Amino acid sequence: MSDPILEVISLTKCFGAIAASDGLTFSVKRGTIHALIGPNGAGKSTAIAQLSGELRSDTGRVRFDGQDVTRWSVDKRARTGLQRSYQITSLLPEFTAEDNVAVAIQSQQGHSFRFLEDARKDHSLRTPAKKILKRVGLSDFADFPITSLAHGQQRQLELAMVLATAPTMLLLDEPMAGMGQSESLQMMELLRPLKGDITMLLVEHDMDVVFALADVITVLVKGQALATGTPDEIRADPAVRRAYLGE
Ligand code: ADP
Ligand code: MG
C-alpha cells in the first residue's frame, strides 16, 4: 500500500523559452487518488502528457510499477496499465455506447481499431461491455448512439472506455471540465469506488472536488512541485497559501 506505483523524477519539458515542466519530482502511492493542482499554465496538462507518453520529456525519468517507462510509447505504457482517459472526440460517433466499449475492450486484447466491425459483432464482448456501462451508471443508455448522449453522459462513457482497458493507474486531466454541479458530483461518486483497484492522478481545478477526493495533493507552480501532502497539510502550508490559494 505504501510503495509508490509511479515515480516522477526531475522531468523537464521546454516549449521554446518556457519550461512547462522544470525538474518536476513527486511520487504516487499505489491505490490512492493523488491530485495535481496549480494555477493556469503551471504545467499540469504537460505533466499528464509526459506521463502518458504523448509528450517526450527533455530530461528526467518516469518509473511505473517497477519499470523505467521514460522512453515507452503511449501504447506500451497503456498495455502495462498506465492509461490516460480517452477523448470522446476520438471515439466512434455513429456507434452506440455499448459498441464503443466493446471496441475498447477489444483494443485491450491487442486488436487494432481496424477490427471494430468485428467488435460490434463479437457477442463475447457484450457481457463485459454491459458490466462496464453499469459500473459508470450508463446501463440505460447502452443502445444510444453516443452523439445523442448528454455531455455528462459522454464523460461517463469516456470513463467506461478507459475502464475497458483494465488500467492499474489512470491519468485524469480535468475529468469534470464543462460539467454542471450535479454531473460533477456524479463523476466524483464514480471515481471514488475505483480507488484501491485503480490508482488515480487527477488534475482538477475545483478545490471542493480535490479536497473531497484526494488522499494526497501535489501543488504545481511553474513546472515544479511546490509541495506534496495530505489535504490538511496542503491547506495549512503557508507557501501554498501564498503562491496558490491567493493569500
Ligand atoms: P496547465 O495545464 O497547468 O494549465 P499547461 O501544461 O497546459 O498548464 O501549460 C504549461 C505552460 O506550457 C504554459 O505556459 C503553456 O502556454 C505552455 N505550453 C503548453 N503546451 C504547449 C505547446 N504545445 N506549445 C507551446 N507552449 C505550450
Ligand atoms: Mg491543463
Judged by average pLDDT, the poorest of 50-59, 116-125, 207-216 is 116-125
Residues of the chain with pLDDT > 90: what percent?
A: 61
Of 18, 55, 84, the one to substitute when testing ligand 1's pocket (max ligand atoms within 8 A of C-beta) is 18
**What secondary structure letter does DSSP report for 86?**
P
Q: Which pLDDT band holds residue 73 (cuts at 50, 70, 90)?
A: very high
For residue range 126-167, what is the model confidence (pLDDT) as tens digits?
999 999 999 999 999 999 998 999 888 888 898 898 898 889
Q: Average per-residue pLDDT in the chain?
A: 89
Identify the band that residue 21 occupies on the pLDDT scale cut at 50, 70 and 90.
Answer: very high
pTM for this predicted structure: 0.90
Which of 38-47, 94-103, 114-123 has the highest mean predicted lDDT (pLDDT)? Answer: 38-47
CB of 40 shorter than 6 A to ligand 1: yes
Query: Which residue's alpha carbon is at the smallest distance from atom 24 of ligand 1?
Result: 15
Look at residue 111 and tell me whether its pLDDT is greater than 70: no
Q: For residue 68, what is its C-alpha cell?
A: 523505467
pLDDT band per the 50, 70, 90 thresholds, residue 90: low
d(CA 72, CA 68): 8
With a cut of 70, say whether residue 48 has pLDDT above it: yes
Question: Residue 240: pLDDT above 90?
Answer: no
Say whether pLDDT at 50 is over 80. Answer: yes
Ion ligand 2: residue ranges with CB closer than 5 A = 44-45
* 186: nearest Cα among 206, 217, 156: 156
pLDDT value, residue 108? 73
CA of 85 to the centre of ligand 1 (A): 19
Q: What is the pLDDT of residue 182?
A: 87
Residue 91 DSSP SS3: coil
Q: What is the C-alpha to C-alpha distance for residues 76 and 186, in angstroms, rounded to an integer?
A: 31
pLDDT band for position 37 (50/70/90)? very high
Determine the pLDDT at residue 55. 97
Q: Which amino acid is at 80?
A: T
Q: Please state the length of the chain.
A: 247
How confident is the model over 104-126, as a mean pLDDT? Answer: 70
Ligand 1 contact via 138 beta carbon (within 6 Å):
no
**Of residues 17 and 86, more confidently modeled:** 17
Query: Which burial class, exposed, middle or buried, applies to 87 when counting CB atoms under 10 A from its CB (0-12, 13-18, 19+)?
Result: exposed
Strands 67-68 and 82-84: unpaired
* CA-42 nearest atom, ligand 1: 3
| Domain 4-81+167-243 sits in CATH 3.40.50.300 | yes
Instruction: Give the start-to-end residue ranges of the domains of the chain.
Output: 4-81+167-243, 101-166
Residue type, 11: L
Q: How confident is the model at residue 119, as a pLDDT?
A: 66
